[in-house]
Structure 1
Amino acid sequence: MSRLWMPTIWHWQADMATAAFRPVMDSGSGMAVEHRKARMRDGVSAAYSRYPKAIDNSPRIVLIHSLALDRSVWDDVLPRLTAHGEIIAVDCRGHGLSDHAPGPYSIEMMGHDIADVLDDAGWHEAIIVGCSMGGCVAQAFAAQYPQRLRGLGLIDTTAWYGTGAPATWRKRAATAQAEGLRGLADFQVTRWFGDRFRKENPDRVKAAMEVFTGNDLDCYAATCVMLGDADLRRFLPKIKAPVAVIVGEEDYATPVDAARELQHAIKDATLTVLPGARHLTPIECPDAVAAKIVDLIGRVYGTHSP
């Protein structure tokens, strides 16, 4: 049976002089949410949503999406997390409602962006969770800001795409710029979602593909080059915080072997392989992904949060 999925509708209510946003009730989820734009150190603005928790000193978690999508990747995970802490879901530069700033980009730059979002929110530290590209950004944050890292969730991701990555990713960037993203849509949809999920959840798949094909081509190309050049392997042994590595069993983009490499390189890392899932497990398996993030919160804080 097809599951009806309603995309997040962003309700921007801003004081234009201060760029401050006040909490509103999200019409789709019923959750209280505050939408903001943070100014990065280079002047670029990053859009993010903050889901508050009434309890003081509650766990704080940042969610970072995958390439060519936006924070709506987490729409089905968020309702399962908000009871356990305060959440920020961010749009990376060049994506979603963040500024579509011209490249070049670097993975270090996007790691700094996350630190700037934390500063805007008034957070000193957080658990950082990223999917695919977001996992690379999370690793870059961990490398550059170890004192601000409480825990790390690495979902459907890698520290390095391999020796051929610079050429492969540049070819993908060139193809997108020459032919548009619709020409890559059939390839992406089968890479992202398993056959059964695509059949049973056409609305959710369609929504994700609409975000993908609506991307700014130059920003997409700049991000592809960034990922092709990224190599975060040398930082992994230095990570001291608890880490949860999660991957779909049928992930062809960052396969199980890549997830095992992350687990083996990081001292305090667990590995979960989700049966039958492919590359975007926060969309395909939100219950399982949320449960593992809750487990990570428990490891970080010494007990499971309420």
Structure 2
Amino acid sequence: MLQQETRDMDGHYEFVTVSDEATIAFRRYGTPGKPRLLLIHSLALDGSIWTDVISGLQGQAEILCIDCRGHGWSSRAPLSYAIERYADDAAEVLDKVGWDQVVVAGCSMGGCIAQAFAVRYPKRVSAMILIDTTAWYGEKAPQEWRARAQKARAEGLASMAAFQATRWFGDRFRAENPRKIQEMMEIFVRNDLDAYEATCIMLGDADLRSALSGFHFPVSVIVGEEDYATPIESARQLAKAIPGASLTILPGARHLTPIECSDVIAEAIAKMIEAAAH
């Protein structure tokens, strides 16, 4: 009997030139023929935030993990950074690899993009996991996100690294995982300032609330108990607005739970993959 192909769990980068000539980098993992999962990362990092989650899902899914435009190995500025463009990037990558429908999971910025993807391509979503995210950052968001971008440009991203580490990860996790924190901070400080600014503006302007009642597929909302970036109340409002959505609060965790609580996130995604199959 022929042995089923299993891709190297380290993955290798592939590239798609999308319709506005940007290049989008992505990696594939897992076993062909298994349920298909699209992973979308958070602001100023890249697809590597999902590394431990992917390991936790070994044998359960065929996984596609993208580097969003302006991030990682994908094209940087000058580009369009409208949230709809991010959603179209995901669709065009899926077209390239011949995937029609997926379970989609997004963390923080990736959760906003996942929602935009579901708005533009509802038939391509079989289930969705929204992690440490929101549909709207609030009335003051346009000014606050622009101020963050201006601070990065004026003072440099390195000046913000300690703040980001504390905002993203709980005290215990930072103390016990210095190498992982260093790895994420190195990715953060390598960001292109023009791309970072444009992405901040996109998030500040994003408002997906009006679309949430139209999501008619299984949805799981997950948030860290100590998430100051997208607090519990934001997650509650998000789950309340989506028909049938569940809400899970992770004790002691902060804003990047795919890194801080990878086993729990992998288990939650596995449950949604199962829900999508029924």
Instruction: Look up the SS of the partner of 1:159 in the other structure.
Output: coil
Q: CA RMSD in A?
A: 1.2
CA distance in 2, matches of 1:24, 1:115: 22
Aligned twin of 1:15: none
Instruction: Look up the SS of the partner of 2:116 in the other structure.
Output: helix
Instruction: Look up the SS of the partner of 2:11 in the other structure.
Output: strand
Aligned twin of 1:35: 13
The answer to which structure has the higher helix fraction is: 2
CA distance in 1, matches of 2:100, 2:205: 29
Aligned twin of 1:94: 70
Instruction: Look up the SS of the partner of 1:108 in the other structure.
Output: helix
CA distance in 2, matches of 1:212, 1:148: 31
Q: 2:7, 2:30 within 8 Å by CA — same for their partners in 1? A: no
Moved over 6 A (4+): none
Tell whether 2:174 aligns with 1:198.
yes
CA distance in 1, matches of 2:43, 2:114: 13
Instruction: Look up the SS of the partner of 1:271 in the other structure.
Output: strand
Q: Which amino acid aligns with 1:211?
A: I
Tell whether 2:143 aligns with 1:152.
no
Structure 2 spans left out of the alignment, 5+ residues: 1-5
Instruction: Look up the SS of the partner of 1:33 in the other structure.
Output: coil
Count of aligned residue pairs for this structure pair: 273
**Could you give the per-residue CA deviations for residues 249-296 of structure 1, whole angstroms, max 9, x where no partner exists?**
000000011111111000121111000000000000000000100111
Residue number among 264, 279, 286 corresponding to 2:262 in the alignment = 286
Aligned twin of 2:51: 75
Shift of 1:85: 1.0
CA distance in 1, matches of 2:30, 2:223: 28
Provide closer, same or farther for how the CA distance between residues 35 and 166 of structure 1 changes in structure 2, counting only shifts above 3 A: same
Aligned twin of 1:84: 60
Q: 1:166, 1:228 within 8 Å by CA — same for their partners in 2? A: yes
Q: 1:35, 1:47 within 8 Å by CA — same for their partners in 2? A: yes
Aligned twin of 2:250: 274
CA distance in 1, matches of 2:100, 2:12: 19
Aligned twin of 1:14: none
Q: 1:32, 1:52 within 8 Å by CA — same for their partners in 2? A: no
Q: Which amino acid aligns with 2:21?
A: G
TM-score (norm 2): 0.96
Provide closer, same or farther for how the CA distance between residues 144 and 220 of structure 1 changes in structure 2, counting only shifts above 3 A: same
Aligned twin of 2:226: 250
Shift of 1:45: 0.7
Provide closer, same or farther for how the CA distance between residues 24 and 85 of structure 1 changes in structure 2, counting only shifts above 3 A: closer
Q: 1:239, 1:266 within 8 Å by CA — same for their partners in 2? A: yes
